[in-house]
Amino acid sequence: MKLLTMFMLPLSIFGHSLVESESTDNKFIFDTFQDPKRDTFLWETFPDDFLWGAATASYQIEGAWDADGKGPSIWDTFSHEGGRVYQNQTGDEACSSYNKLKRDIEMLQELGVKSYRFSLSWPRILPDGTAKSFNKAGVNYYKRLLDALVRAGIEPMVTLYHWDLPQDLQDIGGWENEMMVSYFSDYADICFREFGNRVKLWITFNEQIIFTTHGYEIGSHAPGLKHSGYGAYRAGHTTIKAHAQAWHIYDQKYRNKQHGKVSAVFQSSWFEPKTNSLGDKLAAKRAPEVVLGWFAHPILVDGDYPAVMKEYVANASRLQGLTTSRLPEFTESEKKMIAGTYDFLGLNHYTTTYVSHKARAQPRVASFDLDFDMELSQDEAWPKAASSWLKVVPWGLRRLLGWIKENYGDVPIYITENGMSQSGMDTNDELRIKYYQSYINEMLKAHLIDGVNVKGYFAWSLMDNFEWAEGYSEKFGLYEVDFDDPKRPRTPRDSARAYAEIIQNNGFIHPGSKEKTEL
């Protein structure tokens, strides 16, 4: 099966023309997915103000882990410990982006993106995590980056917390300690003050569900704690309050002057019932309510956890012999403080899973994983990326966006991450091209056909980088980075050209004719 061909315009910025167009007869991108109602390709474009972008995060790209007064983060500690990350790799140097600002911006320009999503390293700005340790050199690095972006006409989307907590704050309990609410608020306040004149789109937290479960429950991410059944709920609870406080600080002190928007980024797959059984259907209905709703429901709906989440954790806690639920409760005034603290919804989406009903076999074990009586799996027939959890299932994105609209209304949505991994060095990445084409096409259908209010899209990632516990073994980059070369050269992959072309066309223009797919 041929790739859908959309390589008509030569993009000379990359030094050579793209593949010539062949046939455009194929309506489907993947052999695996050929349901005409679901998978037919849509030749259409996005609204003119659609925000195309690429994304990265501080610890994953910056390197310079102890340069210019930066304090250690929990990821410095965790990766230096040994035995935690693939081949004991670290982010000490990563992509050296701290020293390669010019090249990174050049890459964004080559892609033609309108926006760059990156994160601030908290311990670079406040080495011990608190306001008293303000580090001017760290602040200046981000000012230089922001100035360069402004000069290049690229709008920043800035994440305050993408998992690199200052180690000193972990030493007093990290996100399991309520005090983090005020430390995070101070940090957010300083960032709004220092950078807010150049930033219109702010993200408080990236994927609370991942760093709380992996960091405080399973222990596979920093800080490596295994507080099974408690850690993630406790840490998550703090982050929801911290998010809300930061949003209020912006709203009260900065919004009038800076006119920006603040929100969180949630992670969610799409969930399909594994079989037609009622149990599996109910489990699949529960899944997004718990996974996305755990953090999105309090913030977008009523300041509290989804009812189904409270019910299941309380029940599991009771089975364990506990008298109170392991899921903490918000007070009434906290609920008021939390509800409505968003200006848009940020969504990181990569894949789809099946869900089946599975009652817990060991009622007395406390574990987030067992609390909801469900089991997740994937289909062997789905195309595979290098990450074990990442199968390529484009139609899941449209279903998830529909679910969001149905449950949270007409909220403006930015897809803040989407992309796929490969394992080896190879700039010829045909599967990634198909991934981007098909997922972006499903987002287009969600927007044009289902009326979902999607405002922008950020590819993950601008370049190969430190993929957390997997080190440099899983490569998500539009640009390949050679980590064996101290200069960390970046080379565009074929997918960079394909993505640039989608951006240039603002969607998908039928190469053969003006013909468009019927809506």
Instruction: At 152, list the tokens.
Output: 């290049």
Mark whether 430 is an active-site residue. no
Residue 505 in 3-state DSSP? Answer: helix
CA angle (56, 57, 60) in 5-degree steps: 100
- Nearest distance from C-beta of residue 142 to ligand NOJ, angstroms: 18
Phi-psi bin for 195: left (phi > 0), alpha (psi -120 to 50), beta? alpha
Name the residue type at position 412: P
Residue 471: name the closest of 174, 78, 66, 53 by CA: 78
- Nearest distance from C-beta of residue 345 to ligand NOJ, angstroms: 15
Q: Which of 206, 341, 353, 441 binds ligand NOJ (CB under 6 A)?
A: 206
- Nearest distance from C-beta of residue 235 to ligand NOJ, angstroms: 16
If the CB atoms of residues 312 and 476 are measured against ligand NOJ, the closer one turns out to be 476
> Which H or E element spans position 52?
strand 51-55
- Nearest distance from C-beta of residue 215 to ligand NOJ, angstroms: 13
Is 511:8 a contact under the CB 8 Å cutoff?
yes
Residue 368: name the closest of 227, 508, 472, 496 by CA: 227
Q: Which of 155, 168, 207, 480 binds ligand NOJ (CB under 6 A)?
A: 207
Could you tell me what percentage of the chain is helix, strand and coil, using 3-state DSSP and rounding each to the nearest 5? Answer: 40, 15, 45
62 touches ligand NOJ (CB under 6 A): no
- Nearest distance from C-beta of residue 375 to ligand NOJ, angstroms: 22
DSSP one-letter code for 474:
S
- Nearest distance from C-beta of residue 462 to ligand NOJ, angstroms: 11
Distance CA 309, CA 262 (A): 26
57 touches ligand NOJ (CB under 6 A): yes
Residue 353 in 3-state DSSP? Answer: strand
Catalytic-role residue among 417, 470, 480, 501: 417
Interacting positions 377-436 with ligand NOJ (CB under 6 A): 417
Q: Residues 88-107 vs ligand NOJ: string with x where CB under 6 A?
A: --------------------
Distance CA 453, CA 511 (A): 27
Q: What are phi and psi of 233, to 5 degrees?
A: -65, -45
Name the residue type at position 315: N
Q: Which of 467, 480, 494, 501 binds ligand NOJ (CB under 6 A)?
A: 467
460 touches ligand NOJ (CB under 6 A): yes
- Nearest distance from C-beta of residue 454 to ligand NOJ, angstroms: 19
Distance CA 68, CA 350 (A): 35
Distance CA 388, CA 416 (A): 21
Strands 270-273 and 374-377 come out as unpaired
Residue 420: name the closest of 429, 430, 432, 428 by CA: 432
If the CB atoms of residues 433 and 459 are measured against ligand NOJ, the closer one turns out to be 459
If the CB atoms of residues 322 and 431 are measured against ligand NOJ, the closer one turns out to be 431
Strands 374-377 and 352-357 come out as antiparallel
Distance CA 293, CA 289 (A): 4
Locus of tokens 């080379």: 491
Q: What are phi and psi of 249, to 5 degrees?
A: -60, -45
502 touches ligand NOJ (CB under 6 A): no
Interacting positions 270-309 with ligand NOJ (CB under 6 A): none
Q: Which of 348, 437, 438, 495 binds ligand NOJ (CB under 6 A)?
A: 348
- Nearest distance from C-beta of residue 269 to ligand NOJ, angstroms: 11
Number of residues interacting with ligand NOJ: please give it, by CB under 6 A: 9
164 touches ligand NOJ (CB under 6 A): no
- Nearest distance from C-beta of residue 373 to ligand NOJ, angstroms: 26
Would you say how long the chain is, in residues?
A: 519
Residue 397 in 3-state DSSP? Answer: helix
Active-site residue list: 417
Q: Which residues contact ligand NOJ by CB under 6 A?
A: 57, 60, 206-207, 348, 417, 460, 467, 476
